[in-house]
Amino acid sequence: MDTTPGSTLSINDFKREIQRRSKIEYLCRNDPEFRKLELFLCRKDPIHLINNWGWTFDPRTSPYHYPFKLYPFQEEFIRWMHALYIAKKHGLVEKTRDMGVTWCAVGFSLWAWLFEGGFVSRWGSRVENEVDDGTVDSIFGKQRYIIQRLPPMLRPSGFEHKKFNHHLTLKNPKNENLILGESASPNFGRSGRSRVAFLDEFAHVQHSEAVWASVSETSDSIFCLSTPAGQGNQFYWLRHHSSISVSSLHWTKHPKKNREWYEAKKKDMQPWQVAQELDISYEKSKAGRIYKRFDRAYHVADEVIKYQPLYEQAVAWDFGHGAATAIIWLQIDPTGQIQVWNYYELTDQDIDFHLPISMGEYPDEIVLVDDSERKFIEKVVAKVPKNFTERHDYGDHAGTAKTANSKRSCKQALKNAGLEFKSTPKQTYDWRIRCTDNLMKLRQNAQGEWESRFQISPDCTKLIDCINNYVWDSENTDKDDIKPKIDWASHGVTALEFFAINRFPIKTSSTGVRVQDYR
């Protein structure tokens, strides 16, 4: 999230700007015609509103509170947003850190909240606290800051902070307009329609594919604002593989940032941080990504992959002993192409809950899960044929151990259901990664074009996100052999790795993964 808003004025410029604004406010109070004209200009143009009535805060400057005066590149950015908003189109903003992008977007959102009819905007970011933590550092804190400093003629009549200003909600009592906020989860935006949605630092949001799929269904316009975070996310794909309108705000557009400033910033940064925070470099801005071969252009199918009964079928498991259980449905066509056609992941359930789902049936305990989980399960089960048992199952060797809530092991549960389960005891990280990486290698077809023998259905958004965000544990880079980071992205990838080492094993050395390969 940006912290630098508009111009940081010199003391003399600050005084002159205060005098200019005081004169405008005096005329508005005492000249009805002037006030009418000023309200007309504010209603017509968000830039006029911000440049004449907006205020910003920056604890790094003195004074801390000062008039929001837009730089020319910021005015151009707001005009670009306004045009896309009117046309009901989406926009992507790639930026250097500290360009005032969030402040500008907040100013535009408040302009529409004040003057548009039937307006609802929705804000999302990596975590809820970044959207609203009660301070001006958060998105809603910036919006409250500006509203509190608007003159009475611009502030909505009847607006009382205790009544219309709540956590993650700002309501305009005059026109019923709303500004809403939430964390950017896979269900972001599903709770209601909005005229515009803002996804702040979208490249750094978990499950970005699922978030985009969710909000696209309910918002007329979407603006993704972010510094880059490698190539393994929806932000990168939108930027480089879609027709979305792009605004690129590099530090060279800022009149107070120069080469000297850039070199000073670089001194305290790692190379990947320079790429992410300053250079807008997608290639160098993600540290420690494991499956660097994975590329949506080659490994994600253009259309949804459907179950083909004549193909070899497989189901890969990562049994969630105290964590999420992941299931991948795969098929291999006669040419040897591996296709992922379904994906499922859920926490806090046992093998007896997951097993029926893998066979296209609903578990008895489905009545106990919440609405969002039930809808997800229904979507997964709808793709799987009933009594789906003609398949090979692969998974973790830990599946031979008994589960916490059952007297039988996961392997025994599959066997009792008439399923064949294969799991090699040899499951070292380096071998798993090399076998899986081998599946992702590209090959040339008869026409000399590069293609992949491994593809994922585009509706398996969570698995795509998992592969893109599966990284090395950077806290253990001082060890001889490093391991992948165990987090939300690891379960789906681990299931895929178990499929790779059991169905397509390759020879491997015992050298392990070297730290120098990571660095």
Per-residue pLDDT reduced to its tens digit, 100-128: 999 999 999 999 999 999 999 999 998 99
Q: Once rounded to an integer, what is the mean pLDDT over residues 66-88? A: 96
pLDDT at 502 over 90: yes
Is 316 within 8 Å of 495 (Cβ atoms)?
A: yes
What's 108-144 look like in SS3?
HHHHHHHHCCCCEEEEEECCHHHHCCCCCCCHHHHHH
Token pair 């380096």 is at which residue? 430
Token pair 């307009």 is at which residue? 177
pLDDT, position 154: 95
DSSP string, 142-196: HHHHHHHTS-TTTSPTT--HHHHEETTEEE-TTT--EEEEEE--TTTTTTS-EEE
Among candidates 423, 418, 414, 416, which has minimal Cα distance to 394?
A: 423
pLDDT at 398 over 80: no
Lowest mean pLDDT among 229-233, 342-346, 398-402: 398-402
Handedness of CA 377, 382, 383, 384 (dihedral sign): positive
pLDDT, position 483: 86
Among candidates 226, 229, 230, which has minimal Cα distance to 248?
A: 226
**pTM for the whole structure:** 0.69
Q: Which run of H or of E encompasses 321?
A: none
> In angstroms, rounded to a whole number, what is the distance separating the alpha carbons of residues 206 and 210?
9
Q: Once rounded to an integer, what is the mean pLDDT over residues 169-183? A: 94
pLDDT, position 4: 53
347 by Cβ neighbours in 10 Å (0-12 / 13-18 / 19+) ranks as: exposed
Q: Identify the structural domains of the chain with CATH numbers, from first to last.
A: 69-279 (3.40.50.300), 312-504 (3.30.420)
More confident residue, 205 or 507: 205
Q: Once rounded to an integer, what is the mean pLDDT over residues 457-473? A: 89
pLDDT, position 478: 54
pLDDT, position 494: 95
> In angstroms, rounded to a whole number, what is the distance separating the alpha carbons of residues 22 and 212?
44
The answer for residues whose C-beta is within 8 angstroms of residue 23's C-beta and 6 or more apart is: none
Angle (CA) 12 14 18, round 5°: 120
- In degrees and rounded to multiples of 5, residue 231 shows phi and psi of -105, -5
pLDDT at 510 over 50: no
pLDDT digits (tens, 9 = 90+) for 22-44: 999 999 999 999 999 999 999 99
Token reading at 277: 């925070």
pLDDT, position 457: 97
